[in-house]
Amino acid sequence: MQNQKTEVTNSMKSRILWVDDEIDMLKSNIMFLKQKGYDVSEATNGEDAIHFIQDQNFDLVFMDEMMPGMGGLQTIHEIKAIEPSLPVVMVTKNETESLMEDAIGKKISDYLIKPVNPNQLLLVCKKILESKRLKGDQVSKEYIQEFNRISMAITDAHDWKDWVDIHIKMTNWEMELDLHPRLGLKQTIRDQRKEFNVEFSKFVEKNYRNWVNSEIDKPILSNEVIEKFVFPEIEDNKSVFFFVVDCMRLDQWLLMEKYLNNYFRISKQYYFSLIPTATPYSRNAIFAGLYPSELEKHYPELWKKNDDIENSKNNFEKDFLAKLIKRQKIRLRNELRYTKIMDSGFSRGIENKIISMANSHLNAVVINFVDMIAHSRSDSAILKEIAPDESAYRSLTASWFEHSSFFGMLRKLASRQDVKIIITTDHGSIRCLHGVKALGDRESSPNLRYKYGRNVKADERNAMFVRNPTDYRLPLRDGIVNYIIAKEDFYFVYPTEYHKYLNQYNDTFQHGGISTEEMILPIITMESKLV
């Protein structure tokens, strides 16, 4: 049985094992490393090195390539079988390419050519042993400076473009700090994001009515997405794939983008979701090119009283898009193709035939998996354990995308020079941490982030009131109704069994309300860089 490893008494010193059959000739280098604060042990052959690794904890190994008996490459193989994550630096006189390739295949961390000078050693040690700390120190310093700049920008923001810029900066910082959890800055940026959403909600409440009733000084809204971003690409005569990823936040897209940079030239623009930030309103508006009130006028069956099951509200997307194409007098080479993907088996089938779909002039594809992740997390204790916060939620999204058929589709489309890809979403989501009591009659809607009905109410500090839906281009629903739309990270709970539902929906990702994560959305345009 393998001996239990002895713990290092001084946890502040990094421990190095140097393996070389001519170790006596390296004493000056070893002494130099000790003077720099490293704890260095010595071995003169591979067998002894393996015994050291089995018995003690080390942070780094310097390995001679040419040794009697067990050579350097074989010793590295044995070490990796014991400690796969232990960094090993090959030290050799041999500069042949084949040896370098063999060493890299053994998963070495670096490569040094003899004679090694002290500065080279120190650089390698710092890069491998201290880079995370050094990067963390720099990141911490830069974020503290940026924190002050962002706080000032929030105070000074007046134009919708200012809010987009701040949202992008904050999202990038949230993702950067994910890489350095030991800095202890997660709560700091969460608090700053909350402050940001407080001010953003005030901004939306003040300006939204003007946006939907004017063409001046306003962001692009959901109902303008296809006209502004998809139709111009159709005129370019390429085959266009328009992907709508349901419930995708900017941070989730940025993680997906990292996997795609080797395949595509990528550009991004931004638009604002209509409110409520929910499928019946924002996604139908995308495909129809109409405000929700216009949808109610032309398609009254969509807005039957108390019929708020979202899957029943997006059954007309192909029809909406076909009518929009006709209204705008867009000429397609062949029939519009629309696909909605809601399960993995069907998704794999689409991946397998995605190249043949490029024969269609316009493909509209709805991807539901990100939305399913959000809703599944709300219902599953295991997923909540796996993704307890925004950082882990981002990681869960990245893991899904890396192995998804959606990524497979995009990789295959990268082989086509005659394809243009546009990717966006209908709304994002926010982690809801604060419940607020809502009042309404029996026929008021059940949604967590928005409600409509006769005289629905909530604390005005936590909700935006829409007393006259016509002013906000919202459906009247065959009666006198008003809407309340949750701000920031609040969610609505009716008084009946209040505490039960307060606890049930606390710390879940929801959408329908007003927050930067739900409203400020990317529109991505991609062309292959492989052909």
Least confident piece of the model among 358-372, 394-408, 476-490: 476-490
Between residues 111 and 475, the one the model is more confident about:
475
pLDDT at 65 over 90: no
* Integer angstrom CA distances of residue 508 from 187, 371, 464, 502, 513: 18, 12, 21, 11, 14
Edge-to-edge strands of the sheet including 239-245? 264-272, 520-528, 419-424, 239-245, 362-367, 337-341
Q: Is the model's pTM score more than 0.75?
A: yes
* Residue whose pair of structure tokens reads 């710390």 in the numeric block: 507
Q: Is 528 helix (H, G, I), strand (E, B) or coil?
A: strand
Write the pLDDT tens digit of every residue in 470-483: 999 999 887 778 99
Edge-to-edge strands of the sheet including 60-64? 39-43, 15-19, 60-64, 88-92, 110-113
End-to-end Cα distance, the chain? 56
pLDDT of residue 8: 38
pLDDT at 99 over 80: no
- Three-state SS sequence of 294-361: HHHHHCHHHHCCCCCCHHHHCCCHHHHHHHHHHHCCCCCCCCCEEEEECCHHHHHHHHHCHHHHCCCC
Answer for the pair 510, 429: CB distance below 8 angstroms, yes or no. yes
> Per residue in 396-414, is it b (16+ CB within 10 Å) or e — as a string?
bbbebbeebbbbbbbbbbb
Between residues 279 and 308, the one the model is more confident about:
279
Domain map (residue ranges) of the chain: 15-116, 130-210, 220-429+518-528, 431-509
pLDDT at 286 over 90: yes
Amino acid at 448: L
Residue 24 DSSP symbol: G
CATH fold label, 220-429+518-528: Alkaline Phosphatase, subunit A (3.40.720)
The share of the chain scoring above pLDDT 70, in percent, equals 93
15-116 with 220-429+518-528: one CATH topology?
A: no
pLDDT of residue 100: 62
Q: With bands split at pLDDT 50, 70 and 90, how would you rate the model's confidence at 306?
A: very low
CATH fold label, 15-116: Rossmann fold (3.40.50)
pLDDT of residue 84: 84
Mean pLDDT of 403-414: 96
Mean pLDDT of 15-22: 93
pLDDT at 165 over 60: yes
Mean pLDDT of 298-308: 65
Write the pLDDT tens digit of every residue in 175-213: 999 988 888 888 999 999 999 999 999 999 999 999 999
Query: Considering the chain, what is the average pLDDT of its residues?
Result: 90
The share of the chain scoring above pLDDT 90, in percent, equals 66
Q: With bands split at pLDDT 50, 70 and 90, how would you rate the model's confidence at 304?
A: low
Answer for the pair 54, 75: CB distance below 8 angstroms, yes or no. no
How many Cβ atoms are within 10 Å of 267's Cβ, its own excluded?
A: 10
pLDDT at 4 over 80: no
pLDDT of residue 1: 39
